[in-house]
Amino acid sequence: MFLIKARNLKKNYGVREIVKGINFSITQGEVLAVIGPNGSGKSTTLEMLVGLRKKDGGEVNYWIQNYKEQIGMQLQSVPFFPGLTALENIRLFAAFYKIYLHKQIAEELLQKCGLLESSNTEATRLSGGQQKRLAIATAMVHNPKLIFLDEPTAALDPLSRQEIHQLILRLYEEGKTVVLTSHDMDEVKKLATRILMISNGEIIAEGSPEQLCNENQVHNLDELYLKLISRKAMVSC
């Protein structure tokens, strides 16, 4: 079952075409990895889907009732409220959804994200990895069906990365739909049920990791990535 369908989605910044009329859908229960080079338009695309950026063309259809309440997003950088603890921050984020998050529920959410011991630490003083986990927790305060994670493990140490992988796998097992961006092909292999590859504002590949590797006669996702990106670069020349 589709949750979101984007048709001919476009975004320009000035005269630059950043997203060039792309078509894709998000299906319930999948972990969709959106991959592609820096600056290819991945974050812009996701931010248009959640309504954080205005699209310049095309349409997005949502198959979720009250979709704004059913979508959560972890942005690459999250402005936590200075002076407030991790616990206070997530309770405040919940209040933005008009939800009173009982302390015990808030602590359960922090525990799920591996942050219970830091719940009384000021959010802006948490380590990079802890802030990333808190950002994911804030995306989940309203128990959304669909969670967008924009580079959830970028710049994290291997243990923190593994903890976030486990969290994402748990969300998948709970039946949540997760859309993530990543530059780490091992991570994509471990987590993604489907891949959407974007280059220069266009979708250049879409399918399960196995299907894409088989179709392109490569052994792994690193090879796939290099093959498709260099092919696209040659075509653009």
Ligand X SMILES: Nc1ncnc2c1ncn2[C@@H]1O[C@H](COP(=O)(O)OP(=O)(O)OP(=O)(O)O)[C@@H](O)[C@H]1O
Question: Is residue 42 involved in binding ligand X (CB under 6 A)?
Answer: yes
Question: Is residue 13 involved in binding ligand X (CB under 6 A)?
Answer: yes
Structure tokens at 13: 């910044």
For residue 191, the minimal CB distance to ligand X (Å) is 17
Question: Is residue 167 involved in binding ligand X (CB under 6 A)?
Answer: no
Question: Is residue 192 involved in binding ligand X (CB under 6 A)?
Answer: no
Question: Is residue 182 involved in binding ligand X (CB under 6 A)?
Answer: no
For residue 183, the minimal CB distance to ligand X (Å) is 6
Question: What separation in angstroms does the CA of 94 have from each of 23, 88, 89, 91, 180?
Answer: 32, 10, 9, 5, 22
For residue 116, the minimal CB distance to ligand X (Å) is 30
Of the ranges 39-47, 121-129, 170-178, 203-211, which one interacts with ligand X (CB under 6 A)?
39-47
Question: Is residue 40 involved in binding ligand X (CB under 6 A)?
Answer: yes
Closer of 106 and 180 to ligand X (Cβ): 180
Closer of 39 and 82 to ligand X (Cβ): 39
Do 157 and 118 touch, CB atoms closer than 8 A?
no
User: Using the rule CB under 6 A, which residue among 4, 22, 32, 41 binds ligand X?
Assistant: 41
For residue 209, the minimal CB distance to ligand X (Å) is 19
Question: Is residue 18 involved in binding ligand X (CB under 6 A)?
Answer: yes
Question: Is residue 232 involved in binding ligand X (CB under 6 A)?
Answer: no
Question: Is residue 155 involved in binding ligand X (CB under 6 A)?
Answer: no
By CB under 6 A, the count of residues binding ligand X is: 10
List of residues contacting ligand X (CB under 6 A): 13, 18, 36, 38-44
